[in-house]
């Protein structure tokens, strides 16, 4: 069964079907017009985690990383030690945990975390070891998970180490031609993609957004509001927080403010068909059909040219065992992309399940040309060598 829950960054869908997307610079709205502090009994004291708290390492771990002998090693040696601490000898030290984001020190103590948590920990460790390291957001297909009557869409982040020397890497990492290395805790999602570098403030906003999503799913509206607001203040060009706050406003009947937030999410979103869909539903519910039809035209145009839409559609068809429909959707994604391992991986699987072994082998050959040394490719070859 394909994984429905992807990775680190949680976006909430309420009755509007709202999703969040990656952000691009745009002017934020006049937020004094949309804040609803009185409605949600807002107090800044509800936010208990600062940026420093998010990245602060466990004292025992910080002491280990500060060891002069370790600090004197070259880049490759320090990176090897970091990987050994995270993965252990059997590469299984940390467990992947969905649905709850934690600060670096807690992630270390629990020995588990979601992608946000594990990425923050790896990044903080890299900084402590004086490695040149970035957190990056990587685009992936939209897949969903339902929890507590809310739908969650995940997006993906990983860690990129710059100017590394060749090292023996565990599963979940990849070396790039520039000798940069990407450490990815869910490599099937985007382990070899170069993404958009995120600042500390940007990752803090995503952490607040995730916490807010958890509170919203549990009905803790005041805490959800406080954390969505904190996310917007931390990174005003992060689209998801506007859209998710609109879900909360919609539940309270604050429709005008919800619409303002959705329109801002559209302006900020690269893959803006997601908040557009929510805006379309909101307009339809208010009987504003001409405006809704214009939004629908925009949705159709964006879906048709967005490879991630077709990848996500293909995966949903795979889940439903409709392999022919999955092949059609994934072939559309293939026509819109080059070098996307996941497209060829899922197409190989779809062809195999449809009984077209030769076609599946063609996709394996394409995968091999992109990443000859992939451990995923080796496993997929073994799987596809047996009857479906």
Question: How many residues does this entry show for the chain?
Answer: 388
pLDDT tens by residue, 123-164: 999 999 999 999 998 876 555 554 555 555 566 788 889 876
Contact 388, 355 (CB under 8 A): yes
Is 1 within the bounds of a domain? yes
Rg (CA), the chain: 22
Mean pLDDT of 89-97: 62
Domain edge (last residue) among 269, 286, 317:
269
* 40 and 99 belong to one structural domain: yes
* 129 and 201 belong to one structural domain: yes
Looking at the structure of the chain, the number of domains it has is 2
228 pLDDT above the threshold of 90 = yes
Is 132 within the bounds of a domain? yes
* 27 and 88 belong to one structural domain: yes
pLDDT tens by residue, 320-350: 999 999 999 999 989 888 777 888 999 999 9
* 234 and 320 belong to one structural domain: no
pLDDT tens by residue, 294-322: 999 988 887 887 787 888 899 999 999 99
Is 141 within the bounds of a domain? yes
Separation of alpha carbons 51 and 55, rounded Å: 7
* 125 and 188 belong to one structural domain: yes
* 250 and 156 belong to one structural domain: yes
Domain edge (last residue) among 269, 299, 316:
269
196 or 149, which is more confident? 196
Mean pLDDT of 85-105: 76
Q: Pull the structure tokens for residue 144.
A: 């969903």
Model confidence at 64, pLDDT cuts 50, 70, 90, reads very high
Is 373 within the bounds of a domain? yes
Is 54 within the bounds of a domain? yes
Q: Pull the structure tokens for residue 56.
A: 């602060």
* 88 and 196 belong to one structural domain: yes
* 176 and 110 belong to one structural domain: yes
Closest CA to 52 of 196, 155, 263, 200: 200
Query: What confidence score (pLDDT) does residue 380 get?
Result: 83
* 313 and 233 belong to one structural domain: no
* 265 and 311 belong to one structural domain: no
| Averaged pLDDT score across all residues of the chain | 81
Model confidence at 47, pLDDT cuts 50, 70, 90, reads very high
Is 284 within the bounds of a domain? no
* CATH for 356: 1.25.40.10
* 191 and 333 belong to one structural domain: no
Domain edge (last residue) among 269, 286, 321:
269
Domain ranges, residue 322: 307-384
Tokens 């490719």 belong to which residue?
377
96 pLDDT above the threshold of 90 = no
* 326 and 374 belong to one structural domain: yes
Is 143 within the bounds of a domain? yes
Q: Which residues contact 165 (CB under 8 A, 6 or more apart)?
A: 74, 75, 76, 179
Is 174 within the bounds of a domain? yes
């Amino acid at each position: 069964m394909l994984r429905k829950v992807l990775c680190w960054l949680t976006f909430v869908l309420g009755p509007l079907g709202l999703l969040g997307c990656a952000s691009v610079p745009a002017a934020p709205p006049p937020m004094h017009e949309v804040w609803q502090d009185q409605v949600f009994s807002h107090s800044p004291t509800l936010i208990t985690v600062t940026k420093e708290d998010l990245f602060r390492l466990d004292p025992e771990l910080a002491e280990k990383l500060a060891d002069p002998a370790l600090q004197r090693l070259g880049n490759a040696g320090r990176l090897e030690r970091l990987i050994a601490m995270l993965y252990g000898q059997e590469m299984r030290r940390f467990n992947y945990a969905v649905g709850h984001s934690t600060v670096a020190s807690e992630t270390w103590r629990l020995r588990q975390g979601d992608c946000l948590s594990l990425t923050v920990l790896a990044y903080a460790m890299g900084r402590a070891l004086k490695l040149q390291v970035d957190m990056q957001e990587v685009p992936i297909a939209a897949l969903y998970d339902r929890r507590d009557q809310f739908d969650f869409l995940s997006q993906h982040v990983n860690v990129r180490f710059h100017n590394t020397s060749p090292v023996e890497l565990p599963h979940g990492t990849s070396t790039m031609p520039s000798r940069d290395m990407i450490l990815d805790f869910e490599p099937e999602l985007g382990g070899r993609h170069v993404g958009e570098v995120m600042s500390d403030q940007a990752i803090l906003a995503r952490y607040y957004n995730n916490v807010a999503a958890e509170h919203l799913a549990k009905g803790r509206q005041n805490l959800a509001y406080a954390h969505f607001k904190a996310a917007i203040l931390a990174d005003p060009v992060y689209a998801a927080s506007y859209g998710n706050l609109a879900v909360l406003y919609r539940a309270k009947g604050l429709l005008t403010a919800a619409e303002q937030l959705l329109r801002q999410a559209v302006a900020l979103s690269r893959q803006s068909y997601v908040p557009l869909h929510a805006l379309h539903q909101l307009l339809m519910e208010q009987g504003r059909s001409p405006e809704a039809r214009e939004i629908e035209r925009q949705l159709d145009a964006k879906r048709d040219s967005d490879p991630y839409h077709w990848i996500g559609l293909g995966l949903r068809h795979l889940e439903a065992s409709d392999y022919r429909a999955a092949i059609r959707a994934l072939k559309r994604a293939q026509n819109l992309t080059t070098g996307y391992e996941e497209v060829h991986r899922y197409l190989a699987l779809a062809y195999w399940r449809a009984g077209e072994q030769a076609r599946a082998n063609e996709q394996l050959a394409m995968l091999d040309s992109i990443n000859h040394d992939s451990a995923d490719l080796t496993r997929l070859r073994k799987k596809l060598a047996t009857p479906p």
